[in-house]
């Protein structure tokens, strides 16, 4: 069928549905409702879709559109749930199970007939992690079911007046409900509030006399202080005392009227450093390895199990600043000093990496120079992976990867990918040529012609398509909570493979041959020349695209994807 996705933003779920519906043979296009109702009407009139699917909407569809066309709304709540803050209520109420419902658009929001529904379990994670993983898995299953039922033509959607449906109307989950009382709330209560708003909208609070949104929360078991006091900083995060403990807060977002010229999310310590008079918060070293039973936060961790090393990293939003790249490179070098035969890179769940940190760049005094510095640090990390020849390196993607983050994965010897992951192995939509040795690794995996198409078309690629065309070596069909354990089992088996010594010898020989044919330094030099020209040209589209992305303003076009074929075979 011809399917039109209408979304307020081309977010992770919209991209995944685009890729997976395309994999099922549908012709899919996208229009952004953030630009108002007219672009939606225009897209419907021009494309004449058989079906309209709305994966994520902050505003209602135009009435003339849903009256004249079948429009399916993806609602992140179980059948009968109504309201714009469904996941917030689920986390606040400590729900153990939740669901996604695909329903038909009508005049009353979320009241339409039900085409499909899929339940999911709710692990103790942040809202954005839950949305991108368990909720996303359920949404894809429900949408594919609804689309199949619509195409077959015989299915009658279930009206919500049916006695089997219990209607629950929920209000907007406002900041008053998120408010933290640092004097009275215990650590678990504080963590629940922080995790329930980790990406959006954050928890409104006050620090150093300014209003600020807190993003993300992790427990701390040793540091203590007066409730509400700032105790320390670590790897860009700040530690704040609770009534009975403390929590680490990785990111802050200054309120727009706070006087901060960069009112968007970025590492908490960076925000406070521009406000705080006098000495900075004491630095609490980030432990690379944690003893059993410790509850503390760090964004980079290492552990070893027999002949396998696991270097886990988890950065908010998948973005990697200059400092984060340098710390990860130091951790990688430390991991290489350990006696292992296989080294696994990647966190236990959610994002793998999305490349350079656009928010930190946007807030820098000189964004062009910070772009250049950040890219150099990213290149150093990727080059270190490419030059590793004494052990097998596996990139284990529990979640999505894009741009330089996707190329970091491709630098590994093997790429293992959880089913449901979306890859964006391109840079064009941010106005960039790209670096991270993509001109070496991408053609090496998929061939020069397909590499050109991937980077020029700049479309999301599903895990299934990535596996079929050679971007991914192994699909891991595991639930988000089970991915890390399954990767551990597979890596242990790999380390015990009888032919591993032969694989390592072949790898070292191939690297030597490739270096002789064209040194890695040449790839890096040529890519960086193109990137330098963009970064230091104030008229380059990259700067406006970056600002729009970071500041959440509508992009230049309501149609984020140019029409293009999906046959990557």
Tell me the C-alpha distance between 69 and 393, whole Å.
50
Q: Does residue 228 surpass a pLDDT of 60? A: yes
Neighbouring CB atoms inside 10 A of 71's CB total 23
Which pLDDT does position 258 carry in this prediction?
Answer: 79
Those residues with Cβ within 8 angstroms of residue 272's Cβ, 6 or more apart along the chain or in another chain: 207, 208, 230, 233, 238, 252, 281
**Residue 548: pLDDT band with limits 50, 70, 90:** very high
For residue 538, which phi and psi values (nearest 5 degrees)? -65, -15
Average pLDDT over residues 371-384: 98
Tell me the C-alpha distance between 254 and 262, whole Å.
7
Q: Does residue 276 surpass a pLDDT of 80? A: no
Which pLDDT does position 568 carry in this prediction?
Answer: 37
What are the E-state strand segments in 331-421?
342-345, 355-356, 392-397, 401-402, 414-418
Q: Does residue 23 surpass a pLDDT of 50? A: yes
Is the CB of residue 295 less than 8 Å from the CB of residue 235?
no
* Segment 343-357, tens digit of pLDDT: 999 999 999 999 999
Q: What is the DSSP string of 29-61?
A: EEEEGGG-HHHHHHHHHHH--SEEEEEE-SSPP
Which pLDDT does position 345 carry in this prediction?
Answer: 98
Which pLDDT does position 275 carry in this prediction?
Answer: 84
Average pLDDT over residues 202-231: 96
Which pLDDT does position 278 carry in this prediction?
Answer: 65
Average pLDDT over residues 277-283: 81
Using DSSP's 3-state secondary structure scheme, residue 221 falls into: coil
* Segment 154-195, tens digit of pLDDT: 999 999 999 999 999 999 999 999 999 999 999 999 999 999
Using DSSP's 3-state secondary structure scheme, residue 104 falls into: strand
Those residues with Cβ within 8 angstroms of residue 180's Cβ, 6 or more apart along the chain or in another chain: 189, 190, 193, 194, 203, 205, 214
* Segment 39-93, tens digit of pLDDT: 999 999 999 999 999 999 999 999 999 999 999 999 999 999 999 999 999 999 9
Map tokens 């970091």 to a residue: 408
* Segment 412-425, tens digit of pLDDT: 999 999 999 999 99
Q: Does residue 530 surpass a pLDDT of 80? A: yes
Which pLDDT does position 274 carry in this prediction?
Answer: 84
Pairing of strands 51-56, 71-75: parallel
Radius of gyration of the chain (CA): 24
Cα–Cα nearest to 74, from 152, 21, 124: 21
Which pLDDT does position 562 carry in this prediction?
Answer: 57
Is the CB of residue 214 less than 8 Å from the CB of residue 239?
no
Burial (CB count <10 Å: 0-12, 13-18, 19+), residue 333: exposed
Neighbouring CB atoms inside 10 A of 486's CB total 16
* Segment 427-473, tens digit of pLDDT: 999 999 999 999 999 999 999 999 999 999 999 999 999 999 999 99
Which pLDDT does position 288 carry in this prediction?
Answer: 96
Average pLDDT over residues 203-232: 96
Query: DSSP code of 349?
Result: S
In this structure, what is the dihedral angle of CA atoms 3, 9, 13, 14, given to the nearest 10 degrees? 20
Tokens of 489: 């089992």
303 torsion bin: left (phi>0), alpha (psi -120 to 50), beta (else)? beta
Q: What is the pTM (predicted TM-score) of this model?
A: 0.95
Tell me the C-alpha distance between 400 and 14, whole Å.
13
Q: Does residue 567 surpass a pLDDT of 60? A: no
Angstrom distances, CA of residue 373 to CA of 109, 154, 301, 360: 47, 58, 24, 12
**H helix intervals, 48-135:** 63-68, 86-92, 127-130
Average pLDDT over residues 388-395: 98
Which pLDDT does position 557 carry in this prediction?
Answer: 80
CA 419 from centroid of its chain's CA atoms: 15
* N- to C-terminal Cα separation, the chain: 20
* Segment 124-146, tens digit of pLDDT: 999 999 999 999 999 999 999 99
Which pLDDT does position 560 carry in this prediction?
Answer: 87
* Segment 326-343, tens digit of pLDDT: 999 999 999 999 999 999
């Amino acid at each position: 069928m011809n399917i039109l996705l209408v979304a307020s933003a081309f977010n992770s779920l919209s991209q995944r549905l685009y890729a997976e519906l395309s994999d099922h043979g549908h012709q899919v296009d996208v229009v952004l409702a953030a630009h108002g109702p007219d672009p939606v009407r225009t897209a419907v009139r021009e494309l004449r879709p058989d079906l309209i699917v709305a994966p994520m909407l902050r505003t209602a569809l135009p009435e003339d559109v849903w009256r004249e066309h079948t429009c399916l709304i993806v609602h992140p709540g179980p059948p009968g749930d109504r309201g714009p803050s469904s996941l917030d209520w689920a986390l606040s109420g400590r729900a153990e199970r939740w669901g996604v419902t695909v329903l038909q658009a009508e005049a009353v929001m979320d009241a339409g007939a039900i085409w499909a529904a899929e339940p999911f379990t709710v692990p103790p994670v942040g809202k954005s992690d839950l949305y991108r993983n368990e909720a996303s898995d359920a949404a894809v299953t429900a949408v594919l079911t609804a689309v199949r039922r619509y195409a077959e033509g015989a299915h009658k959607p279930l009206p919500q007046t049916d006695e089997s449906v219990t209607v629950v109307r929920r209000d907007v989950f406002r900041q008053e409900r998120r408010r933290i009382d640092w004097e009275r709330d215990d650590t678990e209560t504080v963590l629940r509030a922080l995790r329930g708003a980790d990406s959006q909208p954050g928890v409104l609070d006050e620090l150093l006399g300014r209003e600020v949104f807190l993003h993300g929360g992790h427990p701390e078991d040793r540091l203590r202080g007066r409730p509400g006091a700032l105790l320390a900083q670590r790897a860009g995060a700040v530690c704040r005392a609770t009534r009975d403990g403390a929590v680490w807060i990785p990111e802050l977002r200054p309120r727009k009227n706070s006087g901060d010229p960069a009112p968007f999310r970025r590492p908490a310590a960076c925000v406070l450093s521009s406000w705080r008079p006098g000495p900075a918060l004491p630095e609490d070293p980030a432990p690379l390895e944690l003893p059993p039973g410790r509850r503390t936060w760090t964004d980079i961790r290492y552990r070893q199990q027999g002949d396998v090393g696991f270097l886990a990293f988890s950065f908010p939003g998948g973005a990697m600043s200059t400092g984060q790249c340098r710390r990860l490179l130091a951790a990688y070098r430390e991991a290489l000093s350990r006696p292992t035969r296989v080294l696994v890179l990647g966190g236990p769940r959610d994002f793998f990496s999305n490349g350079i940190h656009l928010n930190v760049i946007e807030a820098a005094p000189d964004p062009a120079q910070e772009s250049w510095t950040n890219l150099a640090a990213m290149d150093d990390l990727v080059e270190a992976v490419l030059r590793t020849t004494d052990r097998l390196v596996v990139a284990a993607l529990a979640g999505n990867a894009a741009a330089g983050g996707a190329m970091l994965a491709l630098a590994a010897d093997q790429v293992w990918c959880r089913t449901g992951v979306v890859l964006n192995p391109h840079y064009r939509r941010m106005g960039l040529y790209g670096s991270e040795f993509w001109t070496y690794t991408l053609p090496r995996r998929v061939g020069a012609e397909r590499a050109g198409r991937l980077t020029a078309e700049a479309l999301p690629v599903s895990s299934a398509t990535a596996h079929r065309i050679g971007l991914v070596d192994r699909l891991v069909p595991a639930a988000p909570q089970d991915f890390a354990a399954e990767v551990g089992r597979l890596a242990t088996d790999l380390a015990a493979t009888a032919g591993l010594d032969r694989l390592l010898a072949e790898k070292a020989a191939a690297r030597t041959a490739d270096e002789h044919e064209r040194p890695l330094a040449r790839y890096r030099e040529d890519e960086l020349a193109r990137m330098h020209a963009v970064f230091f040209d104030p008229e380059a589209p990259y700067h406006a695209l970056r600002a729009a992305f970071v500041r959440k303003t509508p992009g230049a076009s309501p149609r984020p994807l140019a029409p293009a074929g999906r046959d990557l075979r």
